[in-house]
Chains A and B, each alone.
Chain A
């Protein structure tokens, strides 16, 4: 027997969403809504069975789940009216909510691995808490769903995946976009399945409880399919379903049946619910929107005025120093998790960064399936739950598969959830060519990773000890960081650089820049570079002078985004000439950003020459001759001489 209080809760959800549609018509809401009219009991049945501290991750159609889990109608209405008093200060609105253990995001499928990461955190914490993630049947078209099925089953994560199957993906009927059997999909991954619907609500409540108990007690994932029907449009004005079909479900709707069978009780409930909602709307209407200055607060990085110290030369390779960082850091802090493909000993990852780590710290090293998007999402979830995940993407080329998690999740969480959360995920990946690995294992995709809001891009080089850089990230970063490593640099000895008549110094901050300047004479050309190719620029500095009579000063950056060009500007003010050398293809690249920023900072009157050197805009060939032709690495000198002598 389903209690009256659940009907009242369903009515509260329905009337709140009706109010949203009204507010939208009145122009009091910015943006759209997706209502769950007809599906409310799914939200209520599962939330009712959860325990305090269990989390819910929902999707674009999340109002019902939110109200059922938090009862925070006030925060929700204010949020959708764009007010600062809303759940997320009016930043996230309808699809991006965060309140205590409740989260939602509007990207189909991407929420699944994030929820898996949060469930993984619960498992690590051994706190007996579980997670629940709501998806729709339309989401089953996303590949990341199956990456996550595999992952949660493999890792045994306490996550209940509830698929609310309303038969439509936006306006397209399921028969036009879904093949095969839904339950069989989950079963194929060894995940236990449950099946309910929102018309037999007593069974729904029982099954919800049973599936949640299974997940908690067995510490395993489960998949719960709930057949349901949405009585409203997908969003607004996008419904082309047959009227008769909708009417059949209006009649079957449990809330409508209750209304017909318990008229007096229903009217009483309606009065109470509507009175609460109208009071909230009235008071929200008087609230203010967030001030722009509050929203962008703390987004600008402090400028560094560099203090330079001599470059340290360590008799150790770059790869060993990175490995050493993880060794000592995991030893001291068990919230550090090393994730990646093929990272278990004895293999220790494609470039051996994880050497011996899994033997020493088996709990802190997760060797994952080849599922870049899911493991990035898993890392995001761990980061949201207080862990410090360091994810290795085996080749930089594969990071394109992680981009949804980086751009639509990691980079957004902090701001769209109104600064309630932090997502300190660190993604490490090797870039660069020169080994004949060909078009998909040699790229330098840094320019695609630079300029993602709220994501820092760091590039290692063989001048500076990577330990310093990783320590800085570990100590101070609260937001996502991508670290580009270089395949060739792994084997190089840190700081082993000497050049006749040149001094080598680095700045003392956490992301040091390296300055290589002629001794006791003013340079006349500033060369800026970073990453692996910086060492190759270093090798030709003397020859640049011999061929061009311009005396170069080399500046090697570690922090690529956001750029800190104070030292570069200082140098260009002296030399009036700047050349930026990067290994990635030239157009719309890092060099373009550096040069335009320097021009803006010091003015065009103070510069005589600007040039960029980079790879040709074609896939990187495997053949040695062609690879050397396409990449700038082996022809830096020739290119600089040609540019200077134009």
Chain B
């Protein structure tokens, strides 16, 4: 033990802070019992603190600075060698390599987990993207995962046989494999029963027999309450999209394209219908712009025209869920909705609540 005594700033009258006026010794000087050590000023008086013991003094404050009542301001040591040279915590150095680094909590975790050496980083403030090398997207808010939800990402390897693929297919694989390869995707199914009444005005299916417009509209509204389905997983983080940009997967004759209805939750049903007609029209005329097929945050894939009974849709790149719409079974008077979701972002209960609520909302449109 080297510190034999600590002196704290005393409470004098109502002051919360005291001004250090004068130090009577230098660091490491020998002091005797009752030696005057320092002057503190309150708003009324100047008080002098004496040493209660003999030893070597270490000042933790400088003249002209203020200290809080209760703060340790002087230590008395039994040995001068145990006193460090540096008194103040401030750094005066202009050398960039010596600038103290402030590291964000997320960056700290990443650095620890991946054993990264940051000594070469010439930045004073280090955030996650500085250590992962990825730039952050301004339209995304980051959300910390609760500790128990942090799971090690699976390092799965898929064995493949080398065959020739079209460029479009390669792109599609690249986009889809990222998330599917995590092995943490599940799919749940929900039947929409008693949904078709051919002799009455039925609002689920439009005149061409498509339920896509009403489903798109309801999904966009519902996603507002399910932000986890409008997010994606990256680097131990859930990235939550600020906007709801609904992707409509189109695969009629000319390959898979995902048309994006930007800020779909702001649109009323009529506008959603117009957007979908516009999508199909542009797809068929092959003049979808890059703008129209990028930036979706949640996708709906509708295979009902192909007579599909039920299927497992694949989640798109940088998304956490996808809704599949299957064909109407006229005999059973029902059709199936399937939702694939990324288990790293959300869980079965949330996905199932989403589908159940969606089914109820759709049924509200039925006029029997």
Contacts and interface: CB of A to CB of B under 8 A. Distances in A.
A501 B124 contact: yes
B64 A546 contact: no
A646 B227 CA distance: 11
Nearest to B139: A608
A492 B17 contact: yes
A370 interface: no
Given A548-B104, A645-B142, 9 more contacts: A500-B100, A518-B124, A518-B125, A520-B124, A521-B123, A546-B102, A546-B104, A547-B105, A645-B141
A545 interface: yes
A491 interface: yes
A501 B44 contact: no
Contacts of B138: 576, 608
A394 interface: no
B143 interface: yes
B19 to A, nearest CB: 6
B19 A501 contact: no
A315 B41 CA distance: 11
Contacts of B128: 549
Contacts of B43: 317, 319-320, 352, 490-491
Nearest to A646: B141
B104 A493 contact: no
Nearest to A493: B66
Given A491-B16, A492-B66, A501 B102 contact: yes
26 contacts: A315-B63, A317-B41, A491-B15, A491-B42, A491-B66, A492-B66, A493-B17, A493-B64, A496-B65, A496-B66, A498-B90, A501-B99, A501-B102, A501-B125, A518-B124, A521-B124, A521-B125, A545-B102, A545-B125, A546-B105, A547-B104, A548-B104, A549-B106, A549-B127, A551-B125, A646-B141
A401 interface: no
Contacts of B19: 315-317, 493
A490 B44 CA distance: 12
B165 interface: no
B91 interface: yes
Give chain B's interface secondary structure class. loop
Contacts of B41: 317
A496 B107 CA distance: 31
B104 A545 contact: yes
Contacts of B63: 315
Nearest to B21: A315
Interface of B: 14-19, 41-44, 63-66, 90-91, 99-100, 102-107, 123-125, 127-128, 138, 141-144
A488 interface: yes
A320 B43 CA distance: 8
A333 to B, nearest CB: 26
A313 B65 CA distance: 9
A542 B127 CA distance: 12
A408 to B, nearest CB: 36
Interface of A: 313, 315-317, 319-320, 352, 435, 488, 490-493, 496, 498, 500-501, 518-521, 542, 545-549, 551, 576, 608, 645-646
Nearest to B103: A546
A435 B14 contact: yes
A518 B127 CA distance: 14
Nearest to A353: B43
Contacts of A542: 102
B28 to A, nearest CB: 25
A576 B128 CA distance: 20
6 nearest A-B residue pairs (beta carbon): A315-B64, A549-B127, A501-B124, A493-B66, A491-B15, A549-B104
Given A317-B43, A491-B43, A549 B142 contact: yes
A435 B138 CA distance: 42
Given A317-B43, A518-B125, A519-B124, A645 B143 contact: yes
A493 B103 CA distance: 30
A493 B65 CA distance: 7
Contacts of B127: 545, 549
B334 to A, nearest CB: 39
A502 to B, nearest CB: 9
A393 to B, nearest CB: 19
Contacts of A435: 14
In this complex, the member of A542, A546, A645 whose beta carbon has the largest number of chain B beta carbons within 10 angstroms is A546
A573 to B, nearest CB: 14
A542 B124 CA distance: 11
A48 B177 CA distance: 102
A501 B90 CA distance: 10
Contacts of A352: 43-44
Contacts of A317: 19, 41, 43
Nearest to B65: A496
Given A500-B102, A645-B144, A491 B44 contact: no
A549 B14 CA distance: 38
A551 B103 CA distance: 11
B86 to A, nearest CB: 14
B17 A491 contact: yes
B122 to A, nearest CB: 10
A367 B104 CA distance: 54
A520 B63 CA distance: 30
A646 to B, nearest CB: 8
A44 B104 CA distance: 80
Contacts of B142: 549, 645
Contacts of B14: 435
Nearest to A351: B43
Nearest to A434: B16
Contacts of A576: 138
Contacts of B144: 645
Contacts of B102: 500-501, 542, 545-546
Nearest to A521: B125
B237 to A, nearest CB: 11
A361 to B, nearest CB: 21
Contacts of A491: 15-18, 42-43, 66
A524 to B, nearest CB: 9
A490 B142 CA distance: 40
Contacts of B106: 549
Nearest to B42: A491
Contacts of A313: 64
A493 B67 CA distance: 10
Contacts of B104: 545-549
B39 to A, nearest CB: 12
B90 to A, nearest CB: 5
A352 B45 CA distance: 12
A224 B19 CA distance: 57
A168 to B, nearest CB: 52
A69 to B, nearest CB: 50
B124 A488 contact: no
A367 B30 CA distance: 51
Contacts of A490: 43
Nearest to A313: B64
Nearest to B143: A645
A317 B40 CA distance: 12
- With most chain A CB atoms within 10 A of its CB, the pick from B19, B63, B143, B144 is B19
B136 to A, nearest CB: 8
B287 to A, nearest CB: 28
Nearest to A608: B138
Nearest to B17: A491
Nearest to A609: B141
A317 B128 CA distance: 41
A92 to B, nearest CB: 46
A646 B102 CA distance: 24
A521 B18 CA distance: 34
A500 B143 CA distance: 27
A608 B243 CA distance: 12
Contacts of A519: 124
Nearest to A323: B43
A608 B140 CA distance: 11
Nearest to B96: A520
B266 to A, nearest CB: 15
Contacts of B15: 491
Contacts of A518: 124-125
